[in-house]
Amino acid sequence: MSLHPVMGHAEARASLASAHLRHLLPAALLLHGARGVGKQRVALWLAQLLVCERPTAEPCGSCAPCRMALGLEHPDVHWYFPLPRPKGATGDKLVEALEQARVDDIAERREHPLRASHSDDVRGLYLGTVRSLRAKAYKRPVMARGPVFIIGEADLLVPQESSPEAANALLKLLEEPPGAAQFILTSSEPGRLLPTIRSRTVPLHLGPLPRATVSDFLQQDADVDATEAEWAAGLSQGAPGRALGFLPDGSERGPLERLRRRAYEIVAAAMGAGSSEGYGLALGFPPAGARGLVDLFDFVEEWVRDVAAVAAGASARVLNQDAVAELERRVSEAKVAPFAAALAFGSVERARELAWANVNPQLVVSGLVRDLRTALRSGSPEGATA
């Protein structure tokens, strides 16, 4: 198996290729943009270009290093990403366990290059990860001019393990990259990167892809039928990785589809007539990491945006087009005023901050339902006092 073809981001890739060919590529890059937009795939494309024996504006695709890079088997291309913390291991054992988990995960990605990368586990980039990365950075490259390190979701570097050591160790590498080492960091939350790391990387933004590009990709590379591809592309916000997350996984709903529906339950409970609905919902809420909750709240925000669009009589602008009729019914029953949504956005933002601060998820969710209820039902008599 090899990686699926890289798609879109033509302008960004052209500027990266041109910098590489003129030997002007900064040693530490930060690719940032929405989750699932293809940042790590572009980073892998760049790694392939860097090791390619005959690079032009694209890797040649046929030399041995190119093929190894495409198969995730190049000995000088090192791909790191957040992983769940191995249980029970400490010290050197932890470093080994993390490295094994990474190798296993890459093997899994090689087998299933298009599996949705979304997971509910709490994941991080730990000091142990940075340690093994650093050891590789100081070793002589096997066949390339220098090693290439891809560090996906670099904002998930975990700084709380007794000290900001993980970040500091990485910082030193970025400051003085050994030999011809190349670092490519990616982040969908660049604001959460340590300022010291941000200031040592050259940023490049990857924007959303056209909906048609996402839909074509799903049909051609992921073997999705046209109707489902259009549906998922419509929800994807231009991010193919996100689109994959909506598609069913065997008999189960896709992970993002489960989140989207859960988010809808929150907004629906806030608009519903009985004010106890929200509490039951919150109590049944599974504990989740901050990242999982923040993902959920992103969907809540989308639904609030849709509620606002419907309340303003602009149903065509609704993102969740498969729910327009139901939204129209609920908005009219709850007498949501168009201005109410602005208040509701503030509630979602507050909930997001609480999630990042690791407040108990059930508390955050029940508070959110209550605040949304006050905001959205302010036009109805019982809402004003709820």
The residues of the shown chain that bind Zn ion, judged by CB under 5 A, are: 52, 59-60, 63, 66
Q: How far is the CB of 121 from Zn ion (least distance, A)?
A: 36
Structure tokens at 55: 């690079």
State which residue, 34 or 52, has the beta carbon closest to Zn ion: 52
Q: How far is the CB of 109 from Zn ion (least distance, A)?
A: 21
State which residue, 59 or 141, has the beta carbon closest to Zn ion: 59
State which residue, 61 or 284, has the beta carbon closest to Zn ion: 61
Q: How far is the CB of 204 from Zn ion (least distance, A)?
A: 22
Type of residue found at 207: G
Asked whether the beta carbons of 320 and 303 are under 8 A apart, the reply is: yes
Q: How far is the CB of 251 from Zn ion (least distance, A)?
A: 41
State which residue, 63 or 312, has the beta carbon closest to Zn ion: 63
> CB neighbours (10 Å) of residue 362?
16
Asked whether the beta carbons of 73 and 66 are under 8 A apart, the reply is: no
CA 7 to chain CA centroid, Å, is: 17
State which residue, 55 or 379, has the beta carbon closest to Zn ion: 55
Q: How far is the CB of 81 from Zn ion (least distance, A)?
A: 24
- DSSP of 36-96, one letter per residue? TSSHHHHHHHHHHHHH-SS-SSS--S-SHHHHHHHTT--TTEEEE--EEPPTT--HHHHHH
State which residue, 59 or 190, has the beta carbon closest to Zn ion: 59
> CB neighbours (10 Å) of residue 189?
15
Q: How far is the CB of 183 from Zn ion (least distance, A)?
A: 21
* Cα(45)–Cα(7) distance, integer angstroms: 10
State which residue, 55 or 159, has the beta carbon closest to Zn ion: 55
Q: Is 148 helix (H, G, I), strand (E, B) or coil?
A: strand
State which residue, 141 or 241, has the beta carbon closest to Zn ion: 141
* Cα(96)–Cα(86) distance, integer angstroms: 10
Q: How far is the CB of 188 from Zn ion (least distance, A)?
A: 29
Q: Where are the alpha helices (DSSP H) in the chain?
A: 10-21, 39-51, 64-70, 91-111, 127-137, 165-175, 195-198, 211-221, 226-235, 240-246, 255-271, 277-283, 290-311, 324-334, 340-356, 361-376, 381-385
End-to-end alpha carbon distance in the chain? 56
* Cα(19)–Cα(12) distance, integer angstroms: 11
Q: How far is the CB of 71 from Zn ion (least distance, A)?
A: 13
Which has the closest alpha carbon to 321: 372, 269, 246, 271?
Answer: 246
State which residue, 52 or 206, has the beta carbon closest to Zn ion: 52
Q: How far is the CB of 78 from Zn ion (least distance, A)?
A: 19
